[in-house]
Copies of this chain bind each other. A is one copy, B any other.
Amino acid sequence: MGIIVQKFGGTSVADPQKIHNVAKAVIREKENGNDVVVVVSAMGHTTDHLIKLAKEVTSTPDSREMDMLLSTGEQVSIALLAMAIQSHGYKAVSMNGQQVGIVTECIHSKARIVDIKTDKLQKKIEEGNIIVVAGFQGVTPDGEITTLGRGGSDTSAVAIAAALKADRCDIYTDVEGVYATDPRIVPNIQKTDVISYEEMLELARVGANVLHPRSVETAKQFNVPLRVRSSFKLDNLGTLIIGVDNMEIYKPVAGVAADSSQIRILLSELPDIPGTAAKLFGSLAKSNISVDMIIQSLASNGTNSIAFTVDAEDFESTMTTLEALKAELKAGEILIDKDIAKVSIVGAGMVDRPGIAADMFRSLAENNINIKMISTSEIKISCLVEKENAKNAIKALCKEFGLESTESADVKGDLPDV
């Protein structure tokens, strides 16, 4: 007997029939003797439809008004899911972000949660209700409606679980759990039963899109046990994500992922004087651009070259920043490489086992895959390769580190929305 927070994405509530399926999964948890809070996203393509409407009104919709607009999507699905649960004879009540009191900063379209009021939630739970909460949305202390941006609904669910000190937060998706890599690339991949927050975070950062890192970070911060599980196979426990301290054993490599969304930028012939890198990356940071891999090298003529990667969606603003800086930095050329992919291996056990990096480089070399850049963290090693080699690299690394299974992974439909 405890509190379970469940989260269902947009594809799970895409039509009335699917909403009834979700209602059954919710009721199942209630019948297990738990109090249930269920967080849902907007139905199917509702958000896309609303964005399209706004774009028809103006090419530059105001972000406050966009939040007002988009937050209606989740309000529709919570009302319908509450009705569906009630139609099966259970007490249910829907609550939007404002009603719960999911308090956020006043940054429209990507607000962060600063507080979740639990008094109304607790009261409705004590009255025997299943609570259906609108994900992805919040309210500022001034009563302005905000949305949480990417990964918002998962983050809503985890934050509510943290606030209610829930026993667990179950993220229902189209897949059966977390796989060591994308099953569309390596069909006979192992499903992971338990993985640490830290490993999930690294996997998410390097391109695995089962969970948005933001939700995992929140779970880690408040130590909320997360379960990624299938909407279709309710008996399957999926993958449990917990703190590394709570794990008894872990593999040296828990997962392999590739990220093809990055672009490599090389500034050549920079004068070798102090402060160049600081100026460059300081300016990019000021423009809110996250830089991923960085390599600086000294050329034979005494000039420096700096190569770094940015996310494709930050490319335009990166170029604007660089053009403005070019003269000041006295840079020679700016070279762009879009045909790259970052292939990474992640594992909390890496730190105890020397030679994992060498195994990775050797495996890639044996498969004729050239490495353009390398970066490492305590539990991750990333190699930049030609985009066309990314899938082969993943296959080779899954084999190298024993992540294959004797069975094929069962993947229904698309990967979940994050």
Contacts and interface: CB of A to CB of B under 8 A. Distances in A.
Nearest to A88: B58
Interface string A85-118: 0110000011010110000000000000000000
Nearest to A70: B79
A78 interface: yes
B65 A79 contact: yes
A371 interface: no
A75 B53 CA distance: 13
Contacts of A383: none
Contact of A58 (B65, B71, B86, B96): B86
A83 B54 contact: yes
A50 B68 contact: no
Given A68-B94, A72-B72, A20 B79 contact: no
A57 B94 contact: no
Contacts of A16: 53, 56-57
A192 B65 CA distance: 39
A82 B65 contact: yes
Contacts of A50: 76
A92 to B, nearest CB: 8
Copies in the complex: 2
A282 interface: no
Given A19-B57, A53-B76, A68-B75, 14 more contacts: A20-B57, A50-B76, A54-B83, A57-B80, A58-B83, A62-B82, A65-B83, A68-B79, A68-B82, A68-B94, A68-B96, A75-B75, A99-B144, A120-B143
A307 interface: no
B65 A94 contact: yes
A12 to B, nearest CB: 14
Given A53-B16, A56-B16, A57-B20, A78 B68 contact: yes
A55 to B, nearest CB: 9
Nearest to A100: B143
Interface centre among A19, A57, A62 (most CB of B within 10 A): A57
A377 to B, nearest CB: 42
Interface in A28-86: 50, 53-54, 56-58, 60-62, 64-66, 68-69, 71-72, 75-76, 78-80, 82-84, 86
Contact of A83 (B61, B84, B96, B120): B61
A60 B72 contact: no
Nearest to A71: B75
Interface string A327-358: 00000000000000000000000000000000
Interface in A197-226: none
Contact of A69 (B80, B87, B98): B80
Interface centre among A16, A19, A78 (most CB of B within 10 A): A16
Contacts of A60: 87
Contacts of A96: 68, 145
A144 B69 CA distance: 20
B53 A65 contact: no
A159 to B, nearest CB: 20
A57 B64 CA distance: 32
A93 to B, nearest CB: 7
Contacts of A79: 54, 65-66, 68-69
Contacts of A66: 79
Contacts of A78: 68
B76 A72 contact: yes
What 5 A-B pairs have minimum CB-CB distances, sorted nearest first?
A69-B79, A72-B72, A58-B87, A16-B56, A68-B79
Contact of A53 (B58, B69, B80, B87): B80
A96 B83 CA distance: 23
